[in-house]
Amino acid sequence: MTQCIRFLILGGLLFVGSQHGSAQEPEKVYDFSPKPVAGEAWHRDFQAKHLLGLDSLVRQEGGQPPQRVQIRTRLTSDNRFRFVDRFVEVDAGRVQVFKREILECQVQANQDHLEEGAPPNEVTLRGGIEALRLVYTWVESEQGYGRYYEGPEPRESWLSSLPADLPSCLGLLPPGPVALNQTWSIDPLLLRGVLAPGGAPQYQTRKGTDRVLSRTLQMGVAGSLYHAIRGRVSGKVTARLEAVRGDVAQVEVTVEDVRYLADISDFSSQNRLKREEEVGIDKTSGKQLVELTGTGTLFWDLSAGRMSSFRFGGREGFRTEIQVTGMGGTYRETVQLSGRLETSISNTPAKDSPK
């Protein structure tokens, strides 16, 4: 065998060996399946901070030309909602029955007109549901949880705005196992479960409280976004598996120009002020546009199958149009505010949860 042939054979063997060694292994995928355990108890702590500024205020009476009102206003608020969930029954990875105890529910807001000599308008509203206990039971035919009070029943109507967001951040999870850097889409309406977890209780006002500011907060402007995230929806929400460290997965959530357009006529009519009724208002109608853009980070414990924490930061905008009929004519007002939104959710074992 000549020297040339030996080199050809040796090169061919090396080539085959390198091909065999470079064969790619199957890409590792990660399973985000929730793994609830009966008897566990979890402390949920939610906080949302709003920092809004008034962009424009336009008023129009009858057939008169619209008038732009020049007012510099800043509206800030701090919303807190804390509760404990205790899993009573679990079957095939789904919590069938759980109990929820409300520990804290309030919003503190400050409206500053930024004018010399103008005092700030401060208000603290409490949900009136602290210490309440509720029982949630999965209803297979409805694919949702029914709920009732365990103990005193303050108001039956409150139950409709106290949904079961369980397990936390479930709406952000992928539809199946995913690999690193894999992306999936999220229904924008599911942001309600992470930006307004636990729902939107009717905040209770004290005598002397500014009713206009209270109504604004209850509507969702600088308050709970539960009622704001609804209606006609546009925009895009995506998630990507950014990293896995140990058993904890880091998921990045991107919210791109998501808009919710909702009719608020019923809310406007039901929340008319006494002085508005006294001046002869016959009908109130309106609509609200809510805009969200930002990013969030979810930390999910893969081995335990549960959320550790979620944070979101971005921009929010509110455009509210109200038309009033009565007083011998019509009156229209359009208000637009925008600013910063910061939210966070933590999920930690309650003191009485088994180790």
Res 17: pLDDT: 45
Res 112: pLDDT: 87
Kindly tell me if the per-residue pLDDT of 276 is higher than 60.
Answer: yes
Res 137: pLDDT: 96
pLDDT per position as a tens digit, 71-81: 888 999 999 99
pLDDT per position as a tens digit, 47-106: 999 999 999 999 888 888 989 988 888 999 999 999 999 999 999 889 999 999 999 988
Phi, psi of 7 (to 5 degrees): -65, -35
pLDDT class of 124 with cuts at 50, 70, 90: confident
Res 217: pLDDT: 87
pTM: 0.85
CB 198 within 8 A of CB 164: no
pLDDT per position as a tens digit, 252-271: 999 999 999 999 988 887 77
Kindly tell me if the per-residue pLDDT of 13 is higher than 60.
Answer: no
Quote the radius of gyration of the chain (alpha carbons, Å). 27
DSSP three-state, residue 211? helix
pLDDT per position as a tens digit, 196-205: 998 877 776 6
Res 8: pLDDT: 39
Res 136: pLDDT: 95
Q: Once rounded to an integer, what is the mean pLDDT over residues 119-126?
A: 80
Kindly tell me if the per-residue pLDDT of 16 is higher than 60.
Answer: no
Domain ranges of the chain: 27-349
CB 78 within 8 A of CB 107: yes
Across the chain, what does the average pLDDT equal? 86
Residue 296: exposure state from Cβ atoms within 10 A (0-12, 13-18, ≥19): buried
Least confident of 28-32, 129-133, 183-187, 245-249: 129-133
Q: Once rounded to an integer, what is the mean pLDDT over residues 344-352?
A: 90
CB 213 within 8 A of CB 121: yes
Kindly tell me if the per-residue pLDDT of 15 is higher than 70.
Answer: no
Best-predicted range by mean pLDDT (123-127, 144-148, 299-303): 299-303
Bridge pairing between strands 232-245 and 248-263: antiparallel
Res 7: pLDDT: 42
What is the helix (H) or strand (E) element at residue 262, kind and residue range?
strand 248-263
User: What percentage of the chain reaches a pLDDT higher than 70?
Assistant: 85
Would you list the DSSP string of 77-118?
EEEEEEEEEEEEEEETTEEEEEEEEEEEEEEEEEEE---TTP
